Amino acid sequence: MSGTHVRARRGGALLAALALAAGLLMSGAPAAQAVSCPAVGPTGTVTPAPVPGGTWAGCDLTGANLSGADLSHMTLTAAVLSGADLQGTTLALADLTGATGLGTALTSGATVWTAATCPDATRAWVHDLGSCAQAVDTTPPGIDLLPLPAAEISEYEDVHLHWTTPETAGSGVGQWQVRTRAGSSGALTIGPWRYSPWYEDTDPNEHWASASSGAHVCSQARLRDHAGNVGPWSVTRCTDTAMDDADPRVLIDSAWRGTLSAAGWIEQAYWTTTVRGATISTDPPLYVRHVGVVATVCPTCGSLDVYVGAQHVGRISLLSSRTVRRRALALPTGRLAHGRVVVVVSSRGRMVRVDGLVVSAS
């Protein structure tokens, strides 16, 4: 056999081997997943109907009636949606990156965009109204912290904060934060701000700020929206918690009878007397602009005289046409006074029931 024929035969074998190897490689490679686009009929009917999690990437959905459809988790990248009806359509976690025609698809009605990926690759929740059809929200959310009572008389002496938000557009409130500073009632100094964590906006616009007996407490709140914009701190709201018998500054004489384990009263205790001249006082002296008591009012209740040092601030009547177990009653001193607070029973033989003292230097 000539050398020429040997070389030819070897060359043919080599080509066959290469072809076989190429065929094996090609057969082992996964085939690209084909996208099956739906047909859009003359009236907008889409066949087949969408399946959550499916793929309509690059499909022409011009004029499609997808009103109320569930397109959640679907891949709609580069899809054409001009004139499509998306009223009430659920697009939660759908990917619309590069999709076109949304402006004409959203001319009427609301679309549920929860966590959808918009054509600009952002999430729907960072847009105004949570809609891909709106601009990205860049406006920090405002907050209105509602005024507090002059005295906080909750059972456990926490401060109950409430707020509203004037925001009606935007991306919506995502989180809120409160900061609080406190000092002793009757003092002229106050401590530094203490910050709460950021809380998810699941509570109905309220927060209980921890406090203690006889504290002057000031609070502010702020919001962060879904786009990450952090609003300014609200106005400062302040209040004083009542001073009860557990406060070492409160002195109660022996004419009072204590009732303990009383649910609904400050630290679950209150003090009762019918003895004229019975006193509750404070030591050391305090700075005072407003002073009073948390007490029961009723048709047969008595009265109390209130002093700051030598100054007789006034008399508090506990008479009322109906019985209220706990009511905050305070008097202004007329100026910033300094001295021991003394509350003296001025009535005789009538019930006087006190839950705590109210003292404020503001």
Query: Where do the domains of the chain lie?
Result: 35-136, 144-240, 250-360
Q: Which two tokens stand for residue 209?
A: 């700020």
Say what the pLDDT of residue 121 is.
Answer: 83
With a CB cutoff of 8 Å and minimum separation 6, the contacts of 25 are: none
The alpha carbon dihedral of 61, 65, 68, 69 has a sign of negative
With beta carbons less than 8 A apart as the criterion, state whether 102 and 133 touch. yes
**Which of residues 76 and 2 earns the better pLDDT score?**
76
> The domain 144-240: what is its CATH number?
2.60.40.10
CA-to-CA distance for 242 and 326, rounded, in angstroms? 12
CB atoms within 10 A of CB 72: 18
Phi, psi of 11 (to 5 degrees): -65, -40
With a CB cutoff of 8 Å and minimum separation 6, the contacts of 182 are: 190, 191, 211, 212, 215, 216, 217, 218
Query: Which residue in 49, 143, 153, 61 sits closest to 102, CA to CA?
Result: 61
Topology of 250-360 in CATH?
Jelly Rolls (2.60.120)
Q: Would the pLDDT of 272 be above 70?
A: yes
**205-251, pLDDT tens digit by residue?**
899 998 988 999 999 999 999 899 999 999 999 999 999 888 899 99
Say what the pLDDT of residue 2 is.
Answer: 45
The alpha carbon dihedral of 252, 322, 325, 357 has a sign of negative
> Tell me, what amino acid is at 355?
D
Say what the pLDDT of residue 116 is.
Answer: 81
Say what the pLDDT of residue 118 is.
Answer: 82
Say what the pLDDT of residue 10 is.
Answer: 45
With beta carbons less than 8 A apart as the criterion, state whether 163 and 142 touch. no
With beta carbons less than 8 A apart as the criterion, state whether 215 and 190 touch. no
3-state secondary structure the chain: CCHHHHHHHHHHHHHHHHHHHHHHHHHHCCCCCCCCCCEECCCCCEECCCCCCCECCCCECCCCECCCCECCCCECCCCECCCCECCCCECCCCECCCCECHHHHCCCCCCECCCCECCCCCEHHHEHHHCCCCCECCCCCCCEECCCCCEECCCCCCEEEEEECCCCCCCCEEEEEEEEEEEECCCCCCCCCEECCCEECCCCCEEEECCCCCEEEEEEEEEEECCCCECCCCCCEEEEECECCCCCCEEECCCCEEEECCCCCHHHEEEEECCCCCEEEECCCEEEEEEEEEEEEECCECEEEEEECCEEEEEEECECCCCEEEEEEEEEEEEEEEECEEEEECCCCCEEEEEEEEEECC
Phi, psi of 57 (to 5 degrees): -65, 130
Q: Would the pLDDT of 1 be above 70?
A: no
Distance between the two ends of the chain, CA-based, in angstroms? Answer: 118
Mean pLDDT of 276-295: 96
Q: Residue 345: which pLDDT band, with cuts at 50, 70 and 90?
A: very high
Mean pLDDT of 78-87: 89
**40-56, pLDDT tens digit by residue?**
999 999 999 999 999 99
State the residue for tokens 């990205």. 136
Q: Would the pLDDT of 290 be above 90?
A: yes
Partners of residue 305 on adjacent β-strands? 315, 344
**4-44, pLDDT tens digit by residue?**
443 444 445 444 444 444 443 444 444 455 789 999 999 99
Instruction: Give the predicted TM-score (pTM) of the model.
Output: 0.74
CB atoms within 10 A of CB 303: 17
Q: Would the pLDDT of 177 be above 70?
A: yes
Percent of the residues in the chain that have a pLDDT greater than 90, as a whole number: 65
Angle at 316 between CA 315 and CA 320, to 5 degrees: 140
Say what the pLDDT of residue 108 is.
Answer: 56
Mean pLDDT of 58-79: 93
Partners of residue 200 on adjacent β-strands? 175
